[in-house]
Structure 1
Amino acid sequence: MAIVKDNILMQLVRGSLGKQITIYERNGQIIMAKKRGPSKKKPTQKQLEARHKMTIASMRAQIMLEDPQIKAYYQSLAGPGQNAYNIAVKDAYRSPEVQNIRLEKEEVAVTAQNEFRVAEVEVKIIDAEGVITESGRAFLAWNGVDWRYKATSLPAGGKVIVIVKSLPGIQTVKELQLT
């Protein structure tokens, strides 16, 4: 790979020269590199899974960018050489993380994190027989990381199920057994 500087001829050239060289621009720099072709190796199972996950992330990103507000949000996070689509794909590729679930009196406190932003946290309270006694959305606390849900009761032997959603709609589910 070579970075071309101050060459008037290369300022106007982009694309491939035969099957040997590719010339393109990235971050305002003109780059010449050996032309790559398709791999002759059969993809591994992990590679196929990653490709499938990337295809889904790309589709989610395209749908999300139809909303002008979301597109503006992602564009504001883009760095040099990036655009809103790159950031949206990155967000759609990764799942949000539930770091901690705590019970504080009759309140469920959830510490959730995503690289960009957690869109919503839903809490379900299930009794010992497996019946949902209550459910609802948690609200973001003053610290910007914890989400709080005011429960009417926390039945012994039951469990709390927390569903964290990212902006692209990717969910992470975590349970906490009640004693």
Structure 2
Amino acid sequence: MAIVKDNILMQLVRGTLGKHYIIYERNGQIIMAVKRGPSRKKPTQKQLEARHKMTIASARAQVMMADPEIKAYYQSLAGPGQNAYNMAVKDAYRSPEVQSIRLEKEDVVVTAKNEFRVAEVEVKVLDAEGAIIESGQAVLGRNRVDWYYKATALPAGGKVIVVAGNLPGCQTVKELLLT
């Protein structure tokens, strides 16, 4: 790979030279490199899974770009050489992380993080038999990390199920057994 400087001819040229070289621009620099061909190796199972996950993330990002407000949000987070679509794909590739679920009297406090932002947290309270007693949306706290849900009852032997979701709709589910 070569970075081209102060060459008038190369300032105007982009694309491929024969079957061997490619000239492109990235972050204001003109780069000339050997053209890569397709790999001759069979992809591994992990590579196939990553490709599938990227296909889903790309599809979700395209849907997100249709909303001008969300597109503006992602554009505000983009750095040099990035755009709103890149940020949306990055957000759609990873699900939010539920770090902890704790009980404070009748409140269920969920600590959830995401590289961009957690859009919603749903809390379900189940009894010992697994029937849903109540469910609802948690409210974001002042620290922008903790989510609070006011439960009417927390039955012994039951459990609390938390579903955290980000803007593209990726979800993470975590459970807490009640004693």
TM-score > 0.5, shorter chain as reference: yes
Number of residue equivalences? 179
**Matches of 1:73 and 1:87, distance apart in 2:** 9
1:169 aligned residue: 169
Measured after TM superposition, the shift of residue 159 of structure 1 is 0.1
Amino acid of the structure 2 residue aligned with 1:80 = P
Measured after TM superposition, the shift of residue 42 of structure 1 is 0.5
> 1:25-71, CA deviations, whole angstroms, 9 ceiling, x for partnerless residues?
00010000100000000000100000000000000000011000000
Measured after TM superposition, the shift of residue 19 of structure 1 is 1.0
2:100 aligned residue: 100
**Matches of 1:14 and 1:56, distance apart in 2:** 31
1:147 aligned residue: 147
Q: Which runs of 5+ in 2 are unaligned?
A: none
1:122 aligned residue: 122
**Matches of 1:93 and 1:56, distance apart in 2:** 8
**Matches of 2:120 and 2:91, distance apart in 1:** 15
| TM-score, normalised relative to structure 1 | 0.99
2:137 aligned residue: 137
Q: What is the SS of the residue equivalent to 2:10?
A: coil
Q: How does 1:5-84 map to 2 (within 5 A)?
A: 5-84=5-84
% identical equivalent positions: 82
> 1:83-104, CA deviations, whole angstroms, 9 ceiling, x for partnerless residues?
0000000000001100000000
| TM-score, normalised relative to structure 2 | 0.99
**Matches of 1:149 and 1:162, distance apart in 2:** 10
Moved over 3 A (4+): none
**Matches of 2:49 and 2:131, distance apart in 1:** 36
**Matches of 1:98 and 1:11, distance apart in 2:** 49
Amino acid of the structure 1 residue aligned with 2:111 = T
1:2 aligned residue: 2
**Matches of 2:87 and 2:100, distance apart in 1:** 26
2:110 aligned residue: 110
Amino acid of the structure 1 residue aligned with 2:133 = T
Measured after TM superposition, the shift of residue 153 of structure 1 is 0.7
**Matches of 1:30 and 1:139, distance apart in 2:** 49
Measured after TM superposition, the shift of residue 135 of structure 1 is 0.2
